[in-house]
Amino acid sequence: MGQLAELQFLYPEYKGLLFEDLLKGISGEVLKKITTYLIGKNLYSEKEIELNDLIENWFSKGNSAFAEQFSERVKKYEEDSKKRVSIVHTISCLKVLQYGLELQEKGSLNTKSKEQSEIDILFALLICNQNEDYNQTKDKVKIKAMFPANYPEALLFNYSFPVNDITNFYFADYTYCQVIKSLMFFGFLDSNSEGQELLKRFCSYYRISSWKGYLERVLPLISAWSNRDKPSSVDLVLEKNANYQDNYLFLERLAMNDYVKLEDVDYIKIREKPLLKLDDTTFRVIHPLFISDKIYKGLYFLFNQLNSEQPKFIKSFRSWYTSNFTEGVCFQQIIEYSIEQYDARFFDDELKKLKVIGPPDCYLREGDDVFLIENKDILINASIKGSYDFEATINEIRKKLLSDNGRPVGIGQIITNIRKLLSKENTFDPVFKPDKTLIYPLLVVHDNMYDTVGLNKILNLFFNEELAILNDEGFDLTRVKPLILINIDTLIQISDVLNKRWCNLKELIEAYNVNSKLQKKLPFSESDFTKTMVPFSTFAINYLNTKLGKNWRSENLMKYLFEKNAGESSPHSDEGKGTLY
């Protein structure tokens, strides 16, 4: 939410410069060095980047005069505007790299000097910052017209949603969840014939003997990033030992070799190939999130691609994957592991056997508290996600999480089951009492893009519109709680806390509901207001840090899954011996 450094403010005399022209002819080496350095530096810690330190590592001696003038301009703008500006924006760095790679593929780099390349990359970055600022605010009038009573929530959502997954994450927690889901996924594939056939293609693709060998080669990449001791880019340097050839071929599979712009909406191509090959022993990490995604998230797209080869093993890979794995394995196993003590628990497959029509994905009752849980592993079209087109984005959210051509999904399904519970149509839990039981509606999603400020508030607007229909039908809704959007990663992170009963789900939800309301009378500050819009994921982690201290995390779930899915093996067994870096 800070002020980005923009060309129009710092260099108004150069307002006619074009992003595309600036990058033509720049040094490819300087392009890769600066953009990856800036991404690494920006994501090293929560501390602001010091201007002098940034300049020292950006500009060579030949640009010392320009660097000094740039520093003076930044300081003068901050003094005049009374604002602190951020020069480095990760999204702008990715866009500069993205277009530079396109020019490299066209043979349109390496005609400018190192010094001119350093300057032109700065100007290109400032133009990107300027474009990002425009994109974030261009729909303000439309947003106010669509959500007049909830304009701040909608505006914050529109700012964040297109880039939230790339810019707002905690690497250690995110990566832990990737490992957990990966172990579940490989165990699932190993357990059925179609999965086993796909695993054969997967192992052939990476030239490994088993999926465990894949983790053994990917996890050292994570360690390289996690163990860095300074804010900079990270290089993976191969040892020329007996394992060099195997390790080289593996990393080459993850490295950018040819770049096609049309394939790179929402950085899809960079996500797929998150390394830059610098020479025959050195590979550079582009963005740590994209490396972490190779553990699990990126596997879906690769296995979908592998399944499309002939013979095709699965007719519709997406529905097979979401029904059988993300809901039937991942969602269910996390719920089962996290909450072992309950008074009633039914998953949808169990309820379907009881002839229940349109059951919730999980019905969980603890005493007089019922949790109605819908599991939605949904994808948002990449071109819509990155468009900053508020109306298109909201329509897509409605379609994925409320109603799809009149068919209730997500929130719509929860509303349907609230109606059935309150009308006593559902009798599978005879202890449920409509006049005594509290109902907690939960929507579980499977991507960190949904951990966006304001989204939970917007979804509750949809939810309340649907509740109003139930109210008109005469139902007593006083015991129906607000809707909570929960990322499956959050459930994974807090699973051991719930399992050990150091804190329960109701306590976290009730505390979040309190946090979502302004507790102060007028006047209240901007921070008082904005903290009410944080996603559940952010709130839950901070709540547990306050309640339990910062050492509440545990690896018990990971150990449990290694024993269950990998037997005696670990990610450091004998298949990938040899040091990668």
Angle, CA of 183, 186 and 187, to the nearest 5°? 80
- In terms of Cβ atoms closer than 10 Å to its own Cβ (0-12, 13-18, 19+), residue 310 is exposed
pLDDT score recorded for residue 581: 46
pLDDT of residue 15: 87
Query: Which pairing describes strands 362-366 and 403-404: parallel, antiparallel, or unpaired?
Result: unpaired
What's CA 199's distance to the chain center, in Å?
25
Per-residue burial over 554-570, b if 16 or more Cβ lie within 10 Å, else e, is: eeebbebbbeebbeebe
Give me the pLDDT at residue 530, please.
82
Q: Let me know: does 111 contact 78? Beta carbons within 8 Å.
A: no
Q: Are 363 and 345 in contact (CB under 8 A)?
A: yes
CA distance 276 to 255: 5
Could you read off the pLDDT tens digit of each residue along the chain, which spans 581 residues?
568 999 999 999 998 999 999 999 999 999 999 999 999 999 876 677 889 999 999 999 999 999 999 999 999 999 999 999 999 999 999 999 999 999 999 999 999 999 999 999 999 999 999 999 999 889 999 999 999 999 999 999 999 999 999 998 899 999 999 999 999 999 999 999 999 999 999 999 999 999 999 999 999 999 999 998 888 899 999 999 999 999 999 999 999 887 776 556 888 889 999 999 999 999 999 999 999 999 999 999 999 999 999 999 999 999 999 999 999 999 999 999 999 999 999 999 999 999 999 999 999 999 999 999 999 999 999 899 999 999 999 999 999 999 999 999 999 999 999 999 999 998 899 999 999 999 999 999 999 999 999 999 999 999 999 999 999 999 999 999 999 999 999 999 999 999 999 999 999 999 999 999 887 666 667 777 788 999 999 999 999 999 999 899 988 888 888 777 655 444 433 333 334 44
CA dihedral sign, ordered 273, 181, 546, 509: positive
Q: How many CB atoms lie within 10 A of CB 186?
A: 23
Token pair of 151 as six digits: 């304009």
Nearest-5° Cα angle at 506, 505 to 507: 90
Distance, CA of 307 to CA of 313 (rounded, Å): 6
Residue 573 confidence (pLDDT): 36
What is the token pair recorded at 350?
């169990």
Instruction: Please state, in angstroms and rounded to a whole number, the distance separating the CA atoms of residues 475 and 47.
Output: 51
Question: Comparing C-alpha atoms, which of 366, 403, 353, 382 is closest to residue 507?
Answer: 366
The pLDDT score that the predictor gives to residue 244 is 93
Domain boundaries, the chain: 3-137, 169-306, 342-500+503-535
Provide the residue type at 288 as one letter: P
DSSP state of 169: -
> Cis before residue 311, ω within 30 degrees of 0?
yes
What values do phi and psi take at 366, rounded to 5?
A: -125, 105
